[in-house]
Amino acid sequence: MGASPTAQRLAVRRHLKRLNKPAVHTIQSPDGDTIDCVHVSHQPAFDHPFLKNHTIQMRPTFHPEGLNFESEARKNSDQRESSMTQLWHLNGRCPENTIPIRRTKKEDLLRASSVKRYGRKKHGRRIPRPSSADPEPINENGHQHAIAYVEGDKYYGARATINVWNPKIQQPNEFSLSQLWILGGSFGEDLNSIEAGWQVSPDLYGDNNTRLFTYWTSDAYQATGCYNLLCSGFIQVSSEIAMGASIFPVSSYHGSQFDISILVWKDPKLGNWWMQFGNDYVLGYWPAFLFSYLADSASMIEWGGEVVNSEPDGQHTATQMGSGHFPEEDRRRVQQSEGPRGMGAFTEQSNCYDVQNGNNDDWGSFFYYGGPGKGDNCP
DSSP string, 105-129: PHHHHHHSSSTTTTTSPPSS--S--
Residue 81 appears among annotated catalytic residues: no
DSSP string, 166-232: ----SSTT--EEEEEEEEES-SSTT-EEEEEEEEE-HHHHSS---EEEEEEESSTTSSS-EETTSSS
Q: Are strands 257-266 and 80-81 parallel, antiparallel or unpaired?
A: parallel
Residue 328 appears among annotated catalytic residues: no
* Residue type at position 144: Q
Q: Which residue out of 174, 302, 306, 338 is catalytically annotated?
A: 306
Residues constituting the chain: 379
Distance CA 297, CA 194 (A): 12
Contact 64, 265 (CB under 8 A): yes
Distance CA 210, CA 329 (A): 23
Distance CA 302, CA 183 (A): 8
* Residue type at position 281: Y
Distance CA 237, CA 279 (A): 16
Contact 222, 197 (CB under 8 A): no
Contact 228, 124 (CB under 8 A): no
Distance CA 80, CA 365 (A): 18
CA separation, residue 83 to residues 87, 150, 260 (Å): 12, 31, 10
Q: Which residue out of 65, 151, 174, 195 is catalytically annotated?
A: 195
Distance CA 264, CA 277 (A): 9
Catalytic residue list = 195, 306
